[in-house]
Amino acid sequence: MDLLNTLVDKGLRRELPTREEALAVLATSDDDLLDVVAAAGKVRRQWFGRRVKLNYLVNLKSGLCPEDCSYCSQRLGSKAEILKYTWLKPDEASQAAAAGVAGGAKRVCLVASGRGPTDRDVDRVAQTIAAVKEQNEGVEVCACLGLLTDGQAERLRGAGADAYNHNLNTSEATYADITKTHTYADRVDTVRKAHAAGLSACSGLIAGMGESDEDLVDVVFSLRELDPDSVPVNFLIPFEGTPLAKEWNLTPQRCLRILAMVRFVCPDIEVRIAGGREVHLRSMQPLALNIANSIFLGDYLTSEGQAGKADLEMIADAGFEIEGTDQVTLPAHRVDADAAAGCGSHDGGGCGPCGSGEPAAKADEARTDLVAVRRRGAGTDLAPNA
C-alpha cells in the first residue's frame, strides 16, 4: 500500500505526515488493518525497539472536582459511584507507589482531582514526591494536578518531579462541547509551563467521545506542535452517572487505527496506551503493543484495570520486554535536545477490567460489563492491583 510505505518512510525520518495521510489511516478498511499495524510497528521499533515502559497511577485525591469535564467520573455533578477521599498522606501515597514499582513500573504518576493546585497543595505534593523517591530508587515521578499557575511548575521541578501530565483531550474546535469551566487554551498554557520549567511534558487525548476523524487528527497535530515527550491515548470509559455514559463508539479495530495514526504523527515520542484499553481493545491489546511503547500497569484513577500479572504475561507473550530503570526511554536525539532544559526523566532517574469470555460486542453495543469502579488500592484498606 503506497500510503503505508510513505508513512513508514516519513516516520523513520521523523517527518510530519500530511493531514490527508493521517485521515487516510483512520479510513483504512479492516482488510488492511494488519498492514497498518505492521507499518506503525516498523516506526515504533526504529525508535523504541521492543521495550515497553510501565507506568503506575496513584490517585492522591479522588472525586469532588469543581470542573465539569463530561467524560470524567470525578466531575462536578457526577453520579458515578466512585471512591471519594481527600489527600493521601505522603507515606500512604509512597506505599501505593511501591506496589507499582514492585510490579515493574518505571514511572509513578501522582494525580489529584481539581481545577489546579493551590500553593499549599504544591507543598503537599512536594512532600509526597520526596517520600516516593526515598522509598523507590531510580523511579520517575510525574505529577498531574490540573491547571498550573506561574511558578508552580518550577516548584514541582525543584521538589524532584520529572514530568507533568496535562492532556489536551480533544480538538480545539470541539473542546467547549465537553468542558465549560476552563478552555482548551488553558490546557495548552499548562503544558507550555511544564515544558518551560524543564519538566518532561506529557499530554494526550481521549478518543471515543463522539468526535470526528478530523477532530482526532487536529488534536494529534496540536500535540505534535507542543512536542511533549509522551502522548497517552485514552479510550473513553462511559461511566454510568456521567454525560457521556451512552457514548460507546469504539471497536478494537478503530482503536488500533487511532494508535497507528498517533504513531505516524509522533514517530519518536512515547505513545502510551492509557485508560480504556481493556474495555475497548480487549483481546487485541497485544497487537497494540506493536504500535505503542508504553502502558499503565494495573488499575486506573477510579476504575479497575487488568490484573498487573496479566499485563506482564501479555507483554512477554507478545515478544516484548519491560523497560528497566537503567534504560533510556526516548531516542538519543530527543534526550540530547531535552538535556539543556534539565529534564531528569530520560536518564533512568487519563479504565476497566479485561473481558469475561463473552462474545465480542457489535460496534454500537454498550459493554457496561467491562466497566468496574475501583474499590482497592489508594484511599482504601485493600491491597492495590499491580
Give the residue from 252, 207, 239 showing the smallest Cα distance to 304: 239
Q: Is 192 a catalytic residue?
A: no
Active site residue 109: yes
Angle at 68 between CA 87 and CA 66, to 5 degrees: 35
Cell of 273: 496506551
User: ∠99-105-109 over CA atoms, to 5°?
Assistant: 85
Rounded CA-CA distance 231/44 in Å is 14
Q: Which residues contact 322 (CB under 8 A, 6 or more apart)?
A: 51, 52, 54, 104, 312, 315
Active-site annotation holds for 354: no
Query: Given 51, 157, 202, 282, which residue is catalytic?
Result: 202
Catalytic residue, candidates 75, 224, 257, 272: 272
Burial (CB count within 10 angstroms: exposed 0-12, middle 13-18, buried 19+), residue 20 = exposed
266 is catalytic: no
Q: Does the annotation mark 72 as catalytic?
A: yes
**Rounded Cα gap, residues 282 and 232, in angstroms:** 18
- What is the per-residue DSSP string for 63-99? S--S---TT-TTSTT-------B-PPPHHHHHHHHHH
Q: Cα–Cα distance between 204 and 234 in angstroms, integer?
A: 8
Per the residue annotation, which of 51, 65, 144, 255 is the catalytic one? 65
The grid coordinates of residue 70 equal 463530561
Question: Is 351 a known active-site residue?
Answer: no
Bind-site residues for [2Fe-2S] cluster: 109, 142, 202, 272
Catalytic residue among 51, 75, 109, 277: 109
Binding-site residues: 65, 69, 72, 109, 142, 202, 272
Q: Kindly name the residue from 75, 107, 142, 157 that is annotated as catalytic.
A: 142
Q: Residue 69 catalytic?
A: yes
Q: What is the DSSP letter of 169?
A: B
Q: Pick from 81, 79, 87, 80: which is nearest to 62 by CA? A: 87
DSSP 3-state helix, strand, coil percentages of the chain (rounded to 5)? 40, 15, 45
Q: How far apart are CA 349 and CA 326, in angstroms?
A: 8
C-beta separation of 97 from 139 below 8 A: yes
DSSP 31: G
The catalytic residue among 44, 51, 72, 354 is 72
> Which residues are identified as catalytic?
65, 69, 72, 109, 142, 202, 272
